Amino acid sequence: MSYRRRTLSHLAALESESIHVIREVAAEMRRPCLLFSGGKDSAVLLHLASLAFQPARLPFPVMHVDTGLNFGEVIRFRDEWVSQLGAQLIVASVPEAISNGVVAEEPNGSRNRIQTPVLLEAAERHGFDALFGGARRDEEKARAKERIFSFRDDFGQWDPKNQRPELWNLYNGRVFPGESMRVFPLSNWTELDIWRFIAHRDIPLPELYFASQREVVDRGGMLFAVNEFTPAADADRVLTESVRYRTIGDANLTACVRSTASTIDQVLVEVETTRLTERGATRGDDRVSDTAMEDRKREGYF
Amino acid sequence: MSTVDLARIATAGSVDDGKSTLIGRLLYDSKSLFTDQLDAVAATSRRRGDDYTDLALLTDGLRAEREQGITIDVAYRYFSTRRRKFILADTPGHIQYTRNMVTGASTADAALIVVDARHGVSEQSRRHTFLTTLLGVPHVVLCVNKMDLVDWSEAVYDAICDNFTQFAARLRVPDLTFIPMSALLGDNVVTSSTNMGWYAGGPLLNRLETMHVASDRNLVDVRFPVQYVIRPQSSHARDYRGYAGVVESGLMRPGDPVRALPSGFTSTIASIETPDGEVEEAFPQMSVTVRLRDDIDVSRGDMLCRPHNSPQIRQDIDAKICWMDAASVLQPGRKYAIKHTTRWGRALVKDLTYAIDVNTMHRDETASELALNEIGRVQLRTTVPFFVDPYQVNRSTGSFILVDESTNRTVAAGVIETHQY
């Protein structure tokens, strides 16, 4: 890192800002928790959280909302890394919530919406008043408007027209019982920043982020890997392509992209030159409408 | 790691001045817009029956904003060049969104104020400039836009610059730049204009890339608000005790003497730890963990400084505040929670000295309250001492927020004035 002009490089400045936010939450909130999905953003978030308190352990637990539709290697990656950090892992299970009748499977098979009540229920059960998320403002236009400390009412809802002003680095995390904060330490990072930081700090990631030959089917211009969650239909033509994932969500919703980038440096080159946003390229869940994300966030989604 | 640094910019102006076009142009020409984002905006524009692709849709992300065609809230945008990464806070220009402009300007290194060359410096641009200086933004760029509509006239441009300079002389603008441009045609935004040979300065992006943001930082006065005390509860680091926080100003080195406030105890810095290991020097904006040679009583909300360079330790605070709450007004006699650096206390509003008309900067000493978006000077008495500097000297130790304890909402932002003795 260059300290020559007593100026932080932009990555170091982002890192410092994120660590400040994470420490602020640990200092002021009663019972915080970090949401971890196994994706690249939450990997960076967890890494920053561990830096913020070293040599001490994470002063809060890590929670994964498991839709039951996760890629197997993401789950393995999650377990390995959380245990390496000596952190406490809480798993909130959507399949369990379905079998208990807490939520019902949606007709289209997407568990994107029904994971929200599962998340809220788990947060309430554990008494969490602050949940860290890895969302970034460059991902989506509703997120571009969201605060770093984002207030949720006692139903977990976001009200975009009634957000707390957020000035300087003075965050207001005060909540009444039942209310909570979602906190986004990576708000000011872009996809490219995330990848550069992963390369710089050598942060481990699931293999899915790197290109290899995988069996895929083409659905409406999006490539889905053939696996237990998206089996090939009779009419599908199964292709073997060199592909990788730019984002990792549920296996039945997240598409991959054609790529030969099998190392972090190659991925960096690809991300630097791409002309498509990661969600636009790969996420079925955001294609519903112009305000799909805002609508889901209002209900308590990340 | 890269040597690209980070600069924060705030923009102010209305759609009519071409602000959204300017932002769209900056993003597009610096290749920070993605094809699918542009396609989505074009499709929405077509659906609404617009004659052209409305670039404002790029930043107006909320349903209400898109439906009503207005910008309600600050939107953050990101673009970068080979030299610098930019965080752009795009703020609505209308007076009813003054609080959003104040929010965007609070952390900005530079403010872009967009004016329409046909109309010159408006009341709105004067208000934006006033707020920019109130929030201590070091660099102001007046973007004289739509020069194509005044035949690229140097005389028109000069008149606007003269007019603005006269006005700005009454304010504290450390660094003021004027740039004639046409955001629509791209003249002087990213590339130099061929239509205005009389203009010798470079385009806007070049100005943003080369302005010295590092030298704006205060390297003299050590101010280290303690954010979190790290005490591992494990066998391998039982005696470890580190004070985590951000160096808000000054330079800190191992071996330097420090004084802890409010206790007044002194010690010496033993080491400074960062994500990159121990460092020989910590400078502003770094998140670090400071370890001291002596076990002195230091906790969150305390501050480390140099023994002979302390902030003022005060329970009486003289400040300008912007009222940000729609549901209540500020009146003398009311009490609020106050957060300054990492320290909370409670504050009583002893006096509203005057309210400021943000358009004319006229002071109304008869004002009895401040409502949403209003700015005024207040005298506060706090329950605990705060370690403050004037905002003009130190943006970190000179700023605070007020929180209404009955709603927990952030109701005001304050900048501390120079104290008169």
Q: List the A180-183 sheet strands across, edge first.
A: A89-93, A62-66, A32-35, A130-132, A180-183, A149-152
Is the Cβ of A104 closer than 8 Å to some Cβ of chain B?
Answer: no
Same-domain status, A20 and A164: yes
Same-domain status, A212 and A272: yes
Does the beta-carbon distance from B339 to A51 stay under 8 Å?
no
Same-domain status, A43 and A169: yes
Nearest to B57 by CA among B78, A92, B70, B143: B70
Helix A40-53 to helix A72-85 angle, to the nearest 10 degrees? 0
B139 found inside a domain: yes
B301 found inside a domain: yes
Does the beta-carbon distance from A169 to B286 stay under 8 Å?
no
Does the beta-carbon distance from A55 to B236 stay under 8 Å?
yes
Same-domain status, B27 and B164: yes
Q: Would the CA dihedral through B296, B298, B302, B306 be positive or negative? A: positive
Same-domain status, B272 and B339: no
pLDDT of residue B259: 97
A2 found inside a domain: no
Q: List the A212-219 sheet strands across, edge first.
A: A222-225, A212-219, A239-244, A257-258
pLDDT of residue B65: 63
Does the beta-carbon distance from B6 to A24 stay under 8 Å?
no
A45 found inside a domain: yes
pLDDT-derived band at B196 (thresholds 50, 70, 90) equals very high
Shortest CA gap A18–chain B (Å): 9
Shortest CA gap A200–chain B (Å): 7
Domain residues for the domain of A272 are: 204-286
Same-domain status, B49 and B198: yes
Same-domain status, A60 and A188: yes
Q: Which of B6, B83, B271, B321 to mutate to test the interface with A (most CBs of A within 10 A)?
A: B6
A271 found inside a domain: yes
Q: Which amino acid is at B334?
A: R
Same-domain status, B270 and B397: no
Same-domain status, A22 and A154: yes
Same-domain status, A17 and A161: yes
Q: Which residues of A touch B302 (CB under 8 A)?
A: none
Is the Cβ of A16 closer than 8 Å to some Cβ of chain B?
Answer: yes
A3 found inside a domain: no
Q: Which of A17, A50, A53, A170 to mutate to test the interface with B (most CBs of B within 10 A)?
A: A170
> Is B192 a residue whose pLDDT tops 80?
yes
Same-domain status, A91 and A224: no
Is the Cβ of B238 closer than 8 Å to some Cβ of chain A?
Answer: no
A4 found inside a domain: no
Residue of B nearest to A49 (CA): B275
Q: How many domains are there within chain A?
A: 2
A198 found inside a domain: no
Q: Show which of residues 180-239 on chain A sit within 8 Å of chain B, judged by CB atoms.
A: 187-188, 190, 192-193, 196, 200-201
Q: What CATH number has the domain bearing residue B117?
A: 3.40.50.300
Same-domain status, B379 and B403: yes
Domain residues for the domain of B85 are: 5-216
Same-domain status, B345 and B273: no
Does the beta-carbon distance from B40 to A175 stay under 8 Å?
no
CA A59 to chain centre: 20
Same-domain status, A32 and A163: yes
B421 found inside a domain: no
B285 found inside a domain: yes
A281 found inside a domain: yes
Does the beta-carbon distance from B64 to A161 stay under 8 Å?
yes
Does the beta-carbon distance from B232 to A3 stay under 8 Å?
no
With tokens 């912007």, the residue in question is B322
Q: What is the ipTM of this complex?
A: 0.92
Same-domain status, B93 and B208: yes
As a whole number of angstroms, the distance between CA A57 and CA A71 comes to 28
Q: What CATH number has the domain bearing residue B229?
A: 2.40.30.10
Same-domain status, B145 and B107: yes
Same-domain status, B150 and B206: yes
Same-domain status, A189 and A213: no
Of B5, B62, B273, the CB nearest to A160: B62
pLDDT-derived band at B420 (thresholds 50, 70, 90) equals low
- Stretch B253-282: mean pLDDT: 97
Q: Which of B279, B305, B331 is the last residue of a domain?
A: B305
Residue B12, strand partner residues = B113
Is the Cβ of B235 closer than 8 Å to some Cβ of chain A?
Answer: no
DSSP reduced 3-state for B75: strand
Does the beta-carbon distance from A55 to B399 stay under 8 Å?
no
Q: Residue B6 corresponds to which tokens in the numbers above?
A: 């980070």
Core vs surface per residue B248-285: b (16+ CB within 10 A) or e: bbbebebebebbbbeeeeebebebbbbbeeebeebbbb
What Å distances lie between residue B361 and B94, B95, B130, B131, B162, CA to CA?
17, 14, 8, 10, 19
Same-domain status, A173 and A209: no
Q: How many domains are there within chain B?
A: 3
CB-facing half-sphere around the CA of B178: CA atoms within 13 A: 22
Name the percent of chain B lying above pLDDT 70: 93
pLDDT of residue B42: 77
A1 found inside a domain: no
User: Can you give the pTM of this predicted structure?
Assistant: 0.92
Of B213, B234, B287, the CB nearest to A19: B287
Q: Which residues of A touch B281 (CB under 8 A)?
A: 3, 6
Residue of B nearest to A295 (CA): B63
Of B1, B401, B409, the CB nearest to A12: B1
Same-domain status, B166 and B199: yes
The tens digit of pLDDT for each residue in B206-246 reads 999 999 887 778 899 999 999 999 998 777 777 899 999 99
DSSP β-ladder status, B343-356 and B287-292: unpaired
Does the beta-carbon distance from B230 to A56 stay under 8 Å?
yes
Nearest to A170 by CA among B394, B401, B150, B124: B401
Of B34, B403, B409, the CB nearest to A277: B34
Q: Which residues of B touch A281 (CB under 8 A)?
A: 36
B17 found inside a domain: yes
Same-domain status, B255 and B327: no
Q: Which of B281, B305, B329 is the last residue of a domain?
A: B305
Does the beta-carbon distance from B6 to A276 stay under 8 Å?
no
Same-domain status, B147 and B24: yes
- Which residues of chain A, if any, have pLDDT below 50? 1-3, 286-288
As a whole number of angstroms, the distance between CA A88 and CA B371 comes to 47
Core vs surface per residue A162-176: b (16+ CB within 10 A) or e: ebbbbbbbbbbbbbe
The tens digit of pLDDT for each residue in B59-97 reads 666 666 666 655 667 888 899 888 899 999 988 777 777
Same-domain status, A142 and A58: yes
pLDDT of residue A3: 44
Q: Which residues of B touch A193 (CB under 8 A)?
A: 85
B246 found inside a domain: yes
Q: What CATH number has the domain bearing residue A105?
A: 3.40.50.620
Q: Which of B216, B245, B272 is the last residue of a domain?
A: B216
As a whole number of angstroms, the distance between CA A287 and CA A280 comes to 8
Same-domain status, A92 and A186: yes
The tens digit of pLDDT for each residue in B301-335 reads 999 999 999 999 999 999 999 999 999 999 999 99
The tens digit of pLDDT for each residue in A43-76 reads 999 999 999 999 999 999 999 999 888 888 899 9
Does the beta-carbon distance from B244 to A24 stay under 8 Å?
no
